[in-house]
Structure 1
């Protein structure tokens, strides 16, 4: 069966509703975990004090903003798709040339949700790399380009002439650069976060290698996929490919891009809330690993709880002293 704009819009609504339901479940679950964790750590403080602490957490605030944007976009999508099927005289033209207020607002909401998700991914990159501003300088520049093209594309869609489509109107001059900026930001962050996780969990270079026992290879692989938001990067690549070949399937991918970005972010949020991920505290660095005079090794106790030493030759375990540095 050939994929048309009408069929793509229908399946986008059906599958998109499932994605939205998954996203909303993860959003509620992660926020509950966050609130419970903060409540336990803060003890018997007042609710007002706990609320101020909660609202100072970037991951929570970002999650709330993304939830509002994706929810508003899903509601508009239901209304717009229903109107197209029930009231439009030419369904294919209606879904191919989305020059209508609801479609313009939808595109703006998708761009805004992806933009905020990219901000939070860059924030995770900053945390994972021990608050290094040098590491996040390049993605921040790409993020500015994403903001400019997102605003420009939404405006262009609102002023395009009747009969123009996403593939033939002037908006195509904005869609392609927006996809490039989004992809560059995510691939850069994905690669560096994945590299950092592998280095942290597999060992530190030097005379002695510190290995953290954090589970089997499958759990490490899944942790890397989640932390690096690889799901979003793959979705962006598919969206760019379908747009470049002018496939109606592009509507399906573009419509679900906001929910997929939210799912990627909420998966990270759940890991952070459960304490399975790098927290806002700086990670242990090689400069904090100290060899004592008696041959023992001192490392920060809050960073490593179950470690072993590989001396690179006979793999004998060494004596380790945990210190709170």
Structure 2
């Protein structure tokens, strides 16, 4: 299989990452405008710091890549291949460590969102949490191995088990949480239909947005796993692309769900809720009574408010 040279792959990855970081920064600013200027839904105390941390880490990762490229191609171009292929360089360890941390932070929020949807059910989250802990261990231990390895690049035999395990466990966490949230949302919809209660029609579009974002990140991880196991330099391009894709999907989903929530509801179904009288459309519910995180998905399970578990479907259904 033909492959790019390491120098060409490094420059290509930097160009793509620069473009993606710019896109992420624009989306990040739009999200902050939504959260703090328009005060959408009352800022979520988990979502907002997570979004800010991912953006900061993405910027630092990009700066590290710029410095590495300057050292390799400007300061010492005669030894650029030697510099880029040596994982013992401090900046190379920093690059891998930052990428690992971005992934771990994003996976944590995915588990948090799933935990909210499942009404704090620790049994449903047991396997994703174990995968997340294992992801953190393999990511940071793998970073230490990168720093300690003196030859062979990231494809060295000592590093492969840690790197492959890290990517695989993150993929497993993503897939498990996606399936759990999708199952819970669809199960609630089925129960509503069986009870003869209408919904606003926003659940399926929100679920599609959720699945699209999860699929994008999962596909990038699969591509990264395949190219890394093939031992080709294209994996460096996908690695830098994936680090910025995390932030782009995270912020774009917030905006897409916000725009979907801003559309007027077409439903006129009236339901009687214990202790709250009749509710028609959206006007009968005080949104402040049920904080929905940063982005409303108003009445994702529309008239099942008598079931406390259903309320949490309104909270944090924001894929990365």
The two structures share one fold, judged by TM-score above 0.5: yes
The answer on 1:105 being equivalent to 2:94 is: yes
In structure 2, how many angstroms separate the alpha carbons of the residues matched to 1:171 and 1:141?
22
In structure 1, how many angstroms separate the alpha carbons of the residues matched to 2:118 and 2:107?
16
SS across alignment from 1:135: coil
Instruction: Check whether the contact 1:291–1:298 (CA below 8 A) recurs between aligned residues.
Output: no
CA gap 1:210/1:89 in 2 versus in 1, 3 angstroms: farther
Matches within 5 A, 1:123-138: 123-138=112-127
Q: What residue is the counterpart of 1:223 in the other structure?
A: 209
The answer on 1:78 being equivalent to 2:62 is: no
Matches within 5 A, 1:37-76: 37-38=38-39, 54=43, 57-76=45-64
Instruction: Check whether the contact 2:139–2:162 (CA below 8 A) recurs between aligned residues.
Output: yes
Instruction: Check whether the contact 1:143–1:181 (CA below 8 A) recurs between aligned residues.
Output: yes
Pick from 206, 210, 213 the counterpart of residue 200 of structure 2. 213
Q: What residue is the counterpart of 2:181 in the other structure?
A: 193
Q: What residue is the counterpart of 1:165 in the other structure?
A: 153
Deviations along 1:276-317, one digit per CA (max 9) or x if unpaired, are 39xxxxxxxxxxx9899xxx999996464997xxxxxxxxxx
In structure 1, how many angstroms separate the alpha carbons of the residues matched to 2:52 and 2:169?
24
Q: Count the aligned residue pairs.
A: 282
Deviations along 1:100-156, one digit per CA (max 9) or x if unpaired, are 111111111110011100011111212233333222221111111111111101111
In structure 2, how many angstroms separate the alpha carbons of the residues matched to 1:6 and 1:233?
27
Instruction: Check whether the contact 1:121–1:265 (CA below 8 A) recurs between aligned residues.
Output: no
Q: What residue is the counterpart of 1:285 in the other structure?
A: none
Larger Rg: 1
CA gap 1:297/1:79 in 2 versus in 1, 3 angstroms: closer
Pick from 217, 222, 229 the counterpart of residue 244 of structure 1. 229
SS across alignment from 2:155: coil
In structure 2, how many angstroms separate the alpha carbons of the residues matched to 1:124 and 1:23?
21
Pick from 105, 108, 131 the counterpart of residue 119 of structure 1. 108
The answer on 1:29 being equivalent to 2:30 is: yes
The one of the two structures with greater contact order (alpha-carbon pairs below 8 A, sep at least 6) is 2
Instruction: Check whether the contact 2:114–2:181 (CA below 8 A) recurs between aligned residues.
Output: yes
Give, in angstroms, the shift of residue 34 of structure 1.
Answer: 1.1
Q: What residue is the counterpart of 1:46 in the other structure?
A: none
In structure 2, how many angstroms separate the alpha carbons of the residues matched to 1:107 and 1:306?
41
Q: What residue is the counterpart of 1:311 in the other structure?
A: none
Instruction: Check whether the contact 1:297–1:321 (CA below 8 A) recurs between aligned residues.
Output: no
CA gap 1:247/1:13 in 2 versus in 1, 3 angstroms: same
Instruction: Check whether the contact 1:108–1:150 (CA below 8 A) recurs between aligned residues.
Output: yes
The alignment yields a C-alpha RMSD, in angstroms, of 3.6
TM-score of the aligned structures, taking structure 1 as reference length: 0.75
Q: What residue is the counterpart of 2:191 in the other structure?
A: 204
For structure 1, the residue ranges without an aligned partner over 5 or more in a row are 43-53, 278-288, 308-319
CA gap 1:321/1:24 in 2 versus in 1, 3 angstroms: closer
CA gap 1:270/1:88 in 2 versus in 1, 3 angstroms: same
For structure 2, the residue ranges without an aligned partner over 5 or more in a row are 263-270, 286-297, 309-320
In structure 2, how many angstroms separate the alpha carbons of the residues matched to 1:78 and 1:36?
33
In structure 2, how many angstroms separate the alpha carbons of the residues matched to 1:127 and 1:207?
24
In structure 2, how many angstroms separate the alpha carbons of the residues matched to 1:321 and 1:143?
32
SS across alignment from 2:191: coil
TM-score of the aligned structures, taking structure 2 as reference length: 0.76
SS across alignment from 1:134: coil
